[in-house]
Amino acid sequence: MFRPSHFAALVLFALFASVVFGITQHETPRRMLRYGIYCFVLFVGSAVALSWAMYFIAR
């Protein structure tokens, strides 16, 4: 059984979803790449930010 850490699962999820979003939402390769990176950073960044927010709320 594959047991990644929460962060590794998040990164894998963000990577796969960002590739599909990038390719399907834009037409030129350059814009696909930019949008894919944008989605990846938003996925990971928002999860990390929300995690820290919950950490401080729980204290």
Partner 1 sequence: MATAPNNNIAARPGREQEARQVFVYLPLIAGWLVPGAGHFLLRKWGRGALLSASIVGMFAVGLAMQGKVYASAHEVLDLLGLAGDLGNGLLYVVAQLLGLGADQVRVTTADYGTRFIVVAGLLNVIAAVDAHNLRTGRKS
One-letter amino acid at 50 equals L
One-letter amino acid at 11 equals V
C-alpha 25/C-alpha 38 separation (Å) is 12
Q: Which is nearer to partner 1, 12 or 50 (CB)?
A: 12
Q: Contact 45/37 with Cβ under 8 angstroms?
A: no
Q: Which is nearer to partner 1, 20 or 49 (CB)?
A: 20
Q: Which is nearer to partner 1, 9 or 49 (CB)?
A: 9
Q: Could you list the residues that contact partner 1 (CB under 8 A)?
A: 1-4, 9, 12-13, 15-17, 19-21, 23-24, 27
